[in-house]
Amino acid sequence: MSMKPMTLEEVTKKILNQEPLFILDVRNQNDFNDWKIEGRKFEYLNVPYFDLLDGVDEILSQIPTDKEVIVVCAKEGSSIMIADMLAEAGRDVFYLQGGMKAWSEYLEPVKAGSLRDGGTIYQFIRVGKGCLSYMVVSNGEAAIVDASRMTEVYIEFAESIGAKITHVLDTHLHADHISGGRSIAEKVNAVYWLPPKDAEEVTFPYQALEDGNKIVLGNTSIDIAALYSPGHTIGSTSFVVDESYLLSGDILFIDSIGRPDLAGLAEDWVGDLRETLYQRYRELSKELIVLPAHFMTNDELNDDGTVAAKLGTLLSQNHGLNIADEEEFRKMVTGNLPPQPNSYQEIRETNMGKISPDTEKQHEMEIGPNRCAIR
């Protein structure tokens, strides 16, 4: 029988289209429990590679013959070996091309909506990390928001649609992933915007993102005048795009809210978080489509592959927005903080420009799931 690679794009399409897939993950149990490829109709078997060195006969009965089967490991090599064993045992199998290392870095662009002038907003889904970034395009100009470090993906995509990147923005100083914003701006000679309250320790020049700014893109204004939205960080800033979309950064997600502790200031910032969610956001139009910077599980994916919902829907259905008692809210937030992201302090220092780790080190720093939300 046969053994073939399955590309990152093919796996992503199965997630977005809610197709079935059986995954044999041959990493160790701790790595598998911490972080795996997730799909609504995916099934799993976790057997460490070292337990299969003598053969796969003992697990054949646990591997279906009526579904596509993919073998997954950290960097591809072990999965190729196990997939070859399964093929020799008479099974048709795939292995994940590039392994989980490549999976953590793959970006899938999806159209998130249309602007009134005929422009488009694209959502870049980093499925392996739950990170979301955006490209707003109008009249041949593009602005990128919350870019990941895989900068060429954005640059090449902009070129493919005939758009020039003129502005690059970060909603806040990220602590769970390395921002590609400054790098993109330098490569294409665009303006890089960052909230100054998050930038007190940065070592590079930037354009201060403050109340009252309006960034004009083609015929579209990204209005941030009244959307200083602290709570995840002290400088967190949201964007209303074309009076239709709310880019909420790490303040508000579809099924949860942002955590206020990644700078060690949970008790100080939880009040800011509540003020943003319960006052500033409630003054906005309920018709705005919320586009967050992260998602927690694939259950938050819509049928069209986007992660998005109306603000009014979230105000009524998101538990984090419906805790009337302020002290109860404070306890809920500070008492349900997940583990800190891997290497989060090093990531913050990288995004400040204080350290410059090489590509392999950057990958190691980002490995694992995102942990920006209150559980």
Spell out the residues 6+ positions from residue 255 whose beta carbon is closer than 8 angstroms to its own.
296, 297, 299, 300, 318
CA-CA distances (angstroms) from residue 133 to 44, 128, 191, 364?
A: 29, 13, 17, 21
Number of residues that make up the chain? 375
Side by side, which strands form the sheet with 69-72? 3-6, 93-96, 69-72, 21-25, 42-46
**What SS3 class is residue 246?**
strand
Q: Which two tokens stand for residue 240?
A: 């209303």
Burial of 100 (0-12, 13-18, 19+ CB in 10 A): buried
Q: What share of the chain is helix, strand, coil (3-state, %, to 5)?
A: 30, 25, 45
HSE toward the beta carbon, residue 29, CA cutoff 13 A: 2
Catalytic residue selected from 47, 73, 74, 145:
73
Is 73 in the active site? yes
Per-position DSSP letters for 287-309, written without gaps between them: TPEEEESB-SSGGG--TTS---E
Where b means 16+ CB within 10 Å and e means fewer, 317-346 reads ebebbebeeeeebbebbeeebeeebbbbeb
Q: Which amino acid is at 75?
A: K
Spell out the residues 6+ positions from residue 143 whose beta carbon is closer than 8 angstroms to its own.
135, 136, 165, 166, 167, 168, 169, 215, 217, 222
Q: How many CB atoms lie within 10 A of CB 108?
A: 17
| Gyration radius from the chain CA atoms | 21
**What SS3 class is residue 195?**
coil
Strand pairing partners for 96?
6
**Residues known to be catalytic:** 73
